[in-house]
Amino acid sequence: MKVRPIKSPIKVSRVIPYAIIVKVIIILILIYMVFIVWRRRLVKKHRKNSNSIQKNPFEIAKDRISSIKTTGFTKEIYVELSHIIREFIENVHYLNVLEMTTEEIKQNKNIFSLSENNFNELVQFLEKADLIKYAKFEVSHIDIESDKSKAMDMIEKFFLNK
């Protein structure tokens, strides 16, 4: 009896292609998840908060100035006062004042719709705030109170000149 050569096994194709079915299911799940994320993003983007009543910039600035405590560090007080005034001008007059230095504000006097006296008062206040913030200029508690009221007066003047 002679030994016959060994033949390799014959591949039998499966009746149900499980690998393809699993891949299709994974793709469908991913498409569904992308759709859900996209849908939520659109809903959140256009949703408005109806509970909060929008305040005008004058009221916001007035509330922020009145909430400043004059018992803290003078540097922090003047940083906050300067930021409030700059943000107010930016919101009312639509000028990018938060990103401008005091020197740039002085140089671009023509873009401000303020009277000469109001503009000079603004620049003097910002220069004094810069001295206190960066040069460690010393001021008394009385000066802080007067500057706080001066900031409120400037905001009222700017709001009336709008």
Please indicate, yes or no, if residue 1 is contained in any of the structural domains.
no
pLDDT band of residue 49 (cuts 50, 70, 90) is low
The C-alpha R_g of the chain, in whole angstroms, comes to 34
Whether 29 and 68 share a structural domain: no
Domains in the chain, number: 2
Whether 43 and 108 share a structural domain: no
Q: Tell me if 89 sits within 8 A of 95, measured CB to CB.
A: yes
Please indicate, yes or no, if residue 99 is contained in any of the structural domains.
yes
Please indicate, yes or no, if residue 19 is contained in any of the structural domains.
yes
- Is the predicted pLDDT of residue 54 greater than 90, yes or no? no
Strands (E) across the chain are located at none
Of 38-47, 57-66, 73-82, which range is least confident?
Answer: 38-47
pLDDT (0 to 100) of residue 87:
92
* 49-70 average pLDDT score: 79
Q: Which two tokens stand for residue 9?
A: 């096994």
Q: Tell me if 127 sits within 8 A of 102, measured CB to CB.
A: yes
Domain containing residue 87: 57-160
Please indicate, yes or no, if residue 151 is contained in any of the structural domains.
yes
Whether 74 and 150 share a structural domain: yes
| Gap between the Cα atoms of 114 and 91, Å rounded | 15
pLDDT band of residue 47 (cuts 50, 70, 90) is low
Show Cβ contacts of residue 153 under 8 Å, excluding neighbours closer than 6 positions.
Answer: none
Residue ending a domain, among 29, 47, 65, is 47
Please indicate, yes or no, if residue 2 is contained in any of the structural domains.
no
pLDDT tens digits, residue range 96-117? Answer: 888 999 999 999 988 888 888 8
Whether 29 and 108 share a structural domain: no
Whether 20 and 63 share a structural domain: no
